[in-house]
Amino acid sequence: MDRTEPGLEHTVSDGVATVVISNPAKRNAMTAAMWGELPGLLERLAADPGVRVLVLTGAGETFCAGADISSLRDPEGDPQALAVAAEEALAAFPRPTLAVIRGYCVGGGSQLAAACDLRFAEEGASFGVTPAKLGIVYAASSTRRLVALTGPATAKHLLFSGELIDTARALRTGLVDEVLPAGELDKRVEAYTRTLTARSQLTQAAAKEFADGREDRDAYWARQARSSGDTAEGVAAFLERRTPRFTWTTGA
């Protein structure tokens, strides 16, 4: 999906929407236009009932090397605000999201990866949160999300120093969930997303909200569970030793 002009590519296949960050001349750095494009693209994909899982990745051998620094000097807009809006739109996507990471995942790239539900990385990837190199104040929402993943000490190390860490440390500190050898990442992602598309969207949607702190929706999800028929279908399929046919979808 590599392209010569910066932008976002997307495909939908077998219930999986794949969004590809592409800016090959700058290691897939996000331009202001790309930050601005992402929320609308996510909104359209969320409205597609055929999309059950979202994968975010980078073109070629790099996930995202951060924000295009030249855009930070643009007097016509606020690239940092655009980045935060894109990050929040990704975090709010109503179905499971997975960042698939190769190469550099730095600055704004780390923001996007952290906003996904899960992060799978290839061995050799590098991670960094770099606002201290530019004198930028990292947004409170972004800082809280990083702390929730890694704990305060690691978040402070990353933010204070801007140093890069490797996949072993990223895995140990919770910044990524799985690390795969070169050549194995795509196969693992394909198998994992296939598993997710076969599971109950009702369970996934409720679990995502609860994990993100929406405890006020407990009664709502209890009503959805009672009326959806998914629980009865899941139990019947288990007893009959067949694949369940769940029917509840986001927005039901």
Give 70-103 as a DSSP string. Answer: GGGG-TTS-HHHHHHHHHHHHHT-SS-EEEEE-S
Q: What pLDDT is recorded for position 5?
A: 83
Q: What pLDDT is recorded for position 214?
A: 81
- What CATH number should be reported for the domain whose range is 7-195? 3.90.226.10
Task: Tell me how far apart the alpha carbons of residues 9 and 92 are, in angstroms, rounded to a whole number.
Answer: 20
Backbone φ/ψ region at 14: left (φ over 0), alpha (ψ -120 to 50), beta: left
Residues of the chain with CATH 3.90.226.10: 7-195
Per-residue pLDDT of the chain (252 residues; tens, 9 = 90+): 445 689 999 999 999 999 999 999 999 999 999 999 999 999 999 999 999 999 999 999 999 999 887 766 665 557 788 999 999 999 999 999 999 999 999 999 999 999 999 999 999 999 999 999 989 899 999 999 999 999 999 999 999 999 999 999 999 999 999 999 999 999 999 999 999 999 999 999 999 999 998 888 999 999 998 898 898 999 999 999 999 999 888 865
Task: Tell me how far apart the alpha carbons of residues 31 and 9 are, in angstroms, rounded to a whole number.
Answer: 14
pTM of the predicted model as reported, rounded to 2 decimal places:
0.93
